[in-house]
Structure 1
Amino acid sequence: MTFNRRHFIGTAIAGTALLSAPMVRADGHAKPRVVVIGGGAGGATAARYIAKDSAGAIDVTLVEPQRRYYTCFFSNLYLGGFREMESLGHSYDKLATDYGINVLHDLAMGIDRDAKTVTTAQGYVLPYDRLILSPGIDFVDGAVDGWDVSAQSVMPHAYKGGTQTQILKAQVDAMPQGGTFAMVAPPNPYRCPPGPYERVSMIAHQLRANNPTAKILIADPKERFSKQGLFQEGWDNNYDGMITWIGSEDGGGDVSVDPNAMSITIAGEVTQVDACNVIPAMQAGKIAHIAGVTEGNWAPVNATDLSSKMDPNVHVLGDACAQGDMPKSGFSANSQAKVCANAVRGALTDSRVFPARFANTCWSLIDTNNGVKVGATYEATDEKIARVDGFISETGEAPEVREATYEESLGWYEGISADMFG
């Protein structure tokens, strides 16, 4: 069916969508139409900036199944006891009421690139002039022997914000004294490169206070990991003897798990565990594959506007895209969204388009007031988004430097939340 205003109002009254401005109309609409799929750091930012900067000249529809969005970034601080879960949750209300974005809480199920339409689970057909995909990540089937998503309540991945994070925290809190927590770390590339190791730090922080004889075991298929020197220094200084990291050279990539027996096998050695965080290999969210804009696990894009290399009318942002040197992070997705929004607005309204510039910073908390960071700036080239320069915290920094870095991260979270949701 065509997604029209009369049908939408009826659906909104039934409680299945958030009513805001008039919805997308049939072909021949006087305004260009942009449909954004995915309401995270990429999608919500892109929708807001297109709506805000076009001053009503473009109809923007945001398709997102969740009514309240819980950020994956900063969820580790919830695990560490530094934040409440509700502080990570955000509403889409302002995007509708303040920016006139048509917010549809529904699941995108199909994309017809020839007809330029999106079909949703509720049966709506949304026409578009430009389509922006920001679906985040899904997991590669069979990436960890013995695990699939049916086991995520027993061995949670906790790599999508919300319930999974709460499950993991509950399992860590319920560990017996002297118990063992295990993590299966993911192979590159994946969402938030420092994320698994900040998570280990935060879980160690909780265990040190409540279960000081507990042990943490990390099975890692990589030879090295982001901020490795900083994390290992922090682990030695704050959690001495608690954390064991097994990299690829020692069999960290030869792993299987048994959710029923609550065991992990590393290079043939079986260990009984009390809680286990399995973070599998990742790929672009399913809708990107359905749209036919992926090669392998990710969606290749042009650096200047994040347009798909398969279709210039489709743009892919954030974790789902293969763009070059930027890490997959909330900061990166937000930065890419602004470039994409400017390009899409320019293409549809013949307004000025600024040169593409990108930035990223990833903060991590190791212990109380012990923050570290890594970041870089980037530019668009013919081949990719290319790194220009970068920075990283140093080992041995003074406590006041680390505390300032942590405070900086708190300011960033408040800023990006406002940038996404208004």
Structure 2
Amino acid sequence: MKLNRRAFIGTAAAGAATLSAPMVMGAAHGKPRVVVVGGGAGGATAARYLAKDSNGEIDVTLIEPTRHYYTCFFSNLYIGGFRSIDSIGHSYGTLASEYGINVLHDWATGVDRDAKTVSTAGGYTLPYDRLILSPGIDFVDGAVPGWDISAQDRMPHAYKAGSQTELLKAQIEAMPEGGTYAMVAPPNPFRCPPGPYERVSMVAHLLKQINPTAKILIADPKQNFSKQALFEEGWNRHYSGMIERIGPDFGGGNVEVDPEAMTVTIDGSVTNVDACNVIPAMKAGRIADIAGITEGNWAPVNAADLSSKMDENIHVLGDACAQGDMPKSGFSANSQAKVCANAVRGALTGSTVFPARFANTCWSLIDTDDGVKVGATYEATEEKIAKVDGFVSDTGESAEVRAATYQESIGWYDGITADMFG
């Protein structure tokens, strides 16, 4: 099915159909209150659907520190020159003005689960009946020896989009003729499984135009990666001889970096590099840990409503949660947010709760009009969100099919950002 903005929003609306909210349950203070932390694909979507579908019966507050949100999805296309940075930036004005959401630009710094309050860096204490956490990812300390967050200007991660993305592109453009761009790829699980490899494709596309003798080196701790056959086919066709990937069999999991010397050491072998993108191991955004609802690096949730397995009044969406088979992606977070919003609205107002259904598609661009995709549908079981069926682009597809896939991704981007921000 060809996906465009209208089709995406229409499908989303059908999956989160609503009834009027005739009653308020368990809210002695008046309207039930929902606080949402994190304004990305999960949090912004959840806040919007709660406000829109409750017809004013729920008081919704969205806490998000940034005034402009830059999507990680499609940020690689900015690096490749297919998008401007402004085209992936979005504001929260419509959520406030048209949906009546209280948008608080602040950092959530504490959760008191007994008192059911969220505290912020700005000194606010916000009570909630339900709390939805969608904080995205943070990085595991010490995951890449020699690198920590203080080195992100010398060796950007660019896995939280915006200034980091702009910095990485500028460093690539400043590479000397014939220089080396290195990527330290993350271990599983991580945000957007095809993301590092689409990034390699977009860096190669840029270098092919401005620095065609440059080299790309990937140190990868994983034996296999998402869409591997499709990416490797594309790299051989479009960027022959430019890209070298070193997997775990050859030391890709034994990596150290020196940001000051600009070196990458792979299994004891030192390489001087001119630009280096370090993508460390990931974990749930810090507020999930502060709230005491993580187990290991992630926050386990119940599949039917994304509620925390440690606190039924807290829900966790998107990259931060451990939910089962869904990948950590913007599409996944958006899909989970609509299921969660429907369940939370039902719990607080008595409105109908529909069976949980989930979907995900991840598109990637390899070169001009060479788009590929992978996706699946999912259902809620007692144990987890479980995959029902899936699909993936075929190797050897025609140029017409690949171009149509890329156009489909543009329609999806317009649709999901409208679904998130109104």
TM-score (norm 1): 0.93
Find the counterpart in structure 2 of residue 92 from structure 1.
92
CA distance in 1, matches of 2:310, 2:376: 28
CA distance in 1, matches of 2:257, 2:225: 22
Find the counterpart in structure 1 of residue 121 from structure 2.
121
State the Cα deviation string for residues 119-168 of structure 1 (Å, max 9, x = none): 00011000000000000000000000000000000000000010000000
Q: Does 1:368 align with 2:371?
A: no
**Alignment coverage as a number of residue pairs:** 396
CA distance in 2, matches of 1:144, 1:315: 31
State the Cα deviation string for residues 44-99 of structure 1 (Å, max 9, x = none): 00000000000000000000000111111100000000000000100100000000
State the Cα deviation string for residues 372-410 of structure 1 (Å, max 9, x = none): 000000000000000000000000000000000000000
Q: Does 1:316 align with 2:324?
A: no
Find the counterpart in structure 1 of residue 171 from structure 2.
171
CA distance in 2, matches of 1:107, 1:404: 41
Letter in 2 for 1:139: F
Find the counterpart in structure 1 of residue 213 from structure 2.
213
State the Cα deviation string for residues 197-228 of structure 1 (Å, max 9, x = none): 00000000000011000000000000010000
Find the counterpart in structure 2 of residue 102 from structure 1.
102
CA distance in 2, matches of 1:41, 1:249: 36
Equivalent residue runs for 1:236-251 within 5 Å:
236-251=236-251
CA distance in 2, matches of 1:136, 1:182: 25
CA distance in 2, matches of 1:338, 1:61: 17
Displacement of 1:250 after TM fit?
1.0
Displacement of 1:326 after TM fit?
0.1
Find the counterpart in structure 2 of residue 153 from structure 1.
153
CA distance in 1, matches of 2:29, 2:395: 58
Letter in 1 for 2:188: N
Unaligned runs of 5+ in 1: 1-26
SS at match of 1:205: helix
Q: Does 1:274 align with 2:274?
A: yes
Letter in 1 for 2:118: V
SS at match of 2:99: coil
CA distance in 2, matches of 1:225, 1:248: 12
Q: Does 1:192 align with 2:192?
A: yes
Displacement of 1:29 after TM fit?
2.3
CA distance in 2, matches of 1:155, 1:42: 28
State the Cα deviation string for residues 285-332 of structure 1 (Å, max 9, x = none): 000000000000000000000000000000000000000000000000
Runs ≥4 residues deviating over 3 A: none
Find the counterpart in structure 2 of residue 290 from structure 1.
290
SS at match of 2:106: coil
Find the counterpart in structure 1 of residue 378 from structure 2.
378
CA distance in 2, matches of 1:33, 1:218: 47
Equivalent residue runs for 1:242-261 within 5 Å:
242-261=242-261
State the Cα deviation string for residues 208-261 of structure 1 (Å, max 9, x = none): 011000000000000010000000000000000000001111110010000000
CA distance in 2, matches of 1:28, 1:91: 34
Find the counterpart in structure 2 of residue 72 from structure 1.
72
TM-score (norm 2): 0.93
Displacement of 1:28 after TM fit?
4.4
CA distance in 2, matches of 1:73, 1:398: 25
CA distance in 2, matches of 1:220, 1:187: 8
Higher relative contact order structure (alpha carbons within 8 Å, sequence separation ≥ 6): 2
Find the counterpart in structure 2 of residue 20 from structure 1.
none
SS at match of 2:72: coil
CA distance in 2, matches of 1:29, 1:257: 54
Q: Does 1:203 align with 2:203?
A: yes
State the Cα deviation string for residues 320-379 of structure 1 (Å, max 9, x = none): 000000000000000000000000000000000000000000000000000000000000
